[in-house]
Structure 1
Amino acid sequence: MGNIALLIIAIAFAVLVIFLVIVLHKVSKVVEEANRTVKVVSSDVDILLHQADGIMTKANTLLDDVNGKVATIDPLFTAVADLSESISDINNSSRNLVKRLNRTSAGRKTGTVSAVVLAKTAKRFFVKKDKTK
């Protein structure tokens, strides 16, 4: 009986070893495939990093160019703002002039400024005086 028990144990051990060999063989294939995948991903990441570096360089160049052009255009916006302020001042001055003229002509029967008075007053502001006289 002892020999039969040893034979069963030996057969069971042989089956276990064969099963472990098959499992280890499959695990080694999975590990090899994982290594290949890591190598491919690593090379792809290197390529992507190189391309991203090129894009960043081009973006920095473009940003420097845009900043230079904005600096060139900045005086134009300042001039437009000054012109806008001057026009606003002229508009306010003309309103004040009309108000003063309306106040001075309030005693008249018509109650409005005549076009002739307004034209003469405007002429005084816009006509250059002859300095030679």
Structure 2
Amino acid sequence: MSGGQIAGLIAAIAFLIIALAFLLLAARIASVTKEVRGTVKEVNTTLNVVNAELGGLTHEVEALLTKSNTLLNDVNGKVAAIDPVFTAIGELGESVSELNTSTRNLATKVSSGAKNSAKAGVALKVGRTAMKLFTKKDATK
């Protein structure tokens, strides 16, 4: 065997090793591709089921939102109708407070007037007694 033949034999063996490695790599890629195809089929089936259920769910959500909007409008209308009642209650509270203040002022004036009346009554009695005393002295003269 000559040097050229040995080099050719080495090149052929290297090419065979590369071909076998490529063949193993291709086999592994083929198995991975089969698994990916199976996974994609499962995903498509799952997506079809989800889409079918999502359509029904979407209709239910739309109906629920419509009912919620109707309920909210009804509550807003009732709150608007009740607002004057709360305003009237607030005004009534203010009126009761003013009435209490006026009653306190009146009670203060009456009690202070009663004290003044008592003083006036004492002064009147003293004045009458003095008049009687002076009129008796004048009558004896």
Give the TM interval when normalised to the shorter protein. Answer: 0.5 to 0.7
TM-score (norm: length of structure 1): 0.66
Alignment deviations for residues 40-97 of structure 1 (CA, whole Å, 9 cap, x no partner) = 2233223223333332321121111122122223333233322222122112112222
Instruction: Name 2:50's counterpart in structure 1.
Output: 48
Q: Distance in 2 between matches of 1:51 and 1:71?
A: 30
- Residue 96 (structure 2) pairs with residue 97 (structure 1): no
Mind listing any 5+ residue stretches in structure 2 that lack a counterpart?
114-141
**Identity score, percent:** 22
Equivalent residue, structure 2, for 1:75 = 77
Higher Rg of the two aligned structures? 2
Greater RCO, 1 or 2 (C-alpha within 8 Å, sep 6+): 1
Determine whether 1:4 maps to 2:27: no
- C-alpha distance in 1, partners of 2:52/2:68? 24
Q: Normalising to structure 2: TM-score of the pair? A: 0.63
Specify every segment of 5 or more residues in structure 1 that has no aligned partner in the other structure, as ranges: 112-133
Q: Distance in 1 between matches of 2:31 and 2:42?
A: 17
Aligned partners of 1:78 and 1:93: how far apart in 2? 23
Q: Tell me, in whole angstroms, the C-alpha distance in 2 between the residues paired with 1:3 and 1:107.
A: 139
Counterpart of 1:67, as a letter, is N
Deviation at 1:110, TM superposition (A): 6.5
Which has more helix, going by share of residues?
Answer: 2
Structure 1 residues 50 and 105, CA, compared in 2 at 3 Å: closer, same or farther? same
Distance in structure 2 (CA, Å) of the matches to 1:68 and 1:38? 44
- Residue correspondences, number: 111
CA distance change for structure 1 residues 21 and 103 in 2, over 3 Å: closer, same or farther? same
Q: Which residue of 2 aligns with 1:25?
A: 27
